[in-house]
Amino acid sequence: MIKEEKHIEKEPKAKDKKAIIEIKDLHKTFGKNNKVLQGVNLTVNKGEDLVILGRSGSGKSVTIKCIVGLIEPDKGEIKVFDENVLHLKKSELNEIRVRIGFLFQSGALYDSMSVRENLAFTLRKHKRDLSAEEIESQVIEALDSVGLSEAIDKMPSELSGGMQKRIGLARTLILKPEIILYDEPTTGLDTITSREISELILDIKHKRKTTSIIITHDMACAKLTADRIMVLKDGVIHAEGTYEELEKSEDEWVRSFFQ
């Protein structure tokens, strides 16, 4: 009897904390001695937004590029949706990659294509059997979700930096990813536009129940979006906690991010 009760109590907790991304002992050295990652361990649970902080060059982008196979680590383990991504065949890895959206540090829209074509191109590349009508309606839906349906016929060069970020985000969202990796989503934008993007990230999390890693130097973005923060230093996770916890950290170096 007692045993059963315990079982009932435990189960919902375990479900709440399902790990979606698990990184263990990740190492990456570039060249002879640029030891960038020296044993990174991190877990992101379902529905969680994890913010990664760290000085420029500390390996934040390298870490998330390893998750999607853009960079091959020297050592370590990466599990996404319970699959060990470093040991998958190319076709198996592709199946997982479609479920992961990546918002690159540099927007990376195709300059010679309109907004519509940029989004449609991404969709056609990954979902080959869609009709023209389906593509058009999904392009409009994705643009709506970033509040930019009026930009559909514009060229990237006609858009402001903030609009380009939003279109980049729409292009990520159009594939309906379960995980979104944001690499500095607000860099180069003014305070108000940055806040709009941060609010959009929060909105996406709530509406689409996505799990995310957000790399940022923008502490307002971190404060708004982070369920948990990790700070990368000297190739390892140096500190971890909520915004409020780390803001009061005993470690002066960690605190300096929050000033």
Ligand X SMILES: Nc1ncnc2c1ncn2[C@@H]1O[C@H](COP(=O)(O)OP(=O)(O)OP(=O)(O)O)[C@@H](O)[C@H]1O
Number of residues that bind ligand X (CB under 6 A): 12
Q: Smallest gap, in angstroms, from Cβ of residue 103 to ligand X?
A: 13
In whole angstroms, the minimum distance from the beta carbon of 134 to Mg ion comes to 35
Report the distance separating Cα 62 and Cα 7, nearest Å.
40
Positions in 58-77 near Mg ion (CB under 5 A): 61
Classified as helix, coil or strand, 24 is strand
Sheet holding 49-54, edge to edge: 100-103, 179-183, 211-215, 49-54, 228-233, 236-241
Closest distance of CB 3 from ligand X, Å: 48
Shortest Å, Cβ 19 to ligand X:
23
Site string for ligand X, 2-31 (x = CB under 6 A): ----------------------------x-
CB-wise, 40 or 85, nearer to ligand X? 40
C-beta of 109 vs 181, nearer to ligand X: 181
Q: Which does 36 bind (CB under 5 to 8 A by kind): ligand X, Mg ion, none?
A: ligand X
For residues 103-132, which are near ligand X according to CB under 6 A? 105
Strand partners, 37: 28
Structure tokens at 220: 């307002």
The number of angstroms, rounded, from the C-alpha of 202 to the middle of its chain's C-alpha atoms is 12
Sketch the per residue contact string, 37 through 76, with ligand X: x for CB under 6 A, - otherwise. -----------------x-xxxxxxx--------------
Three-class SS of residue 47? Answer: coil
Q: Is the dihedral of CA 96, 101, 106, 107 positive or negative?
A: positive
Question: Could you tell me if 225 and 215 are in contact, meaning their C-beta atoms sit under 8 angstroms apart?
Answer: no
Give the number of residues written for the chain.
Answer: 259
Within the chain, what is the greatest distance between any pair of CA atoms?
A: 68
Is residue 186 a contact point for ligand X (CB under 6 A)?
no
What is the contact surface with ligand X in residues (CB under 6 A)?
30, 34, 36, 54, 56-62, 105
What is the contact surface with Mg ion in residues (CB under 5 A)?
61
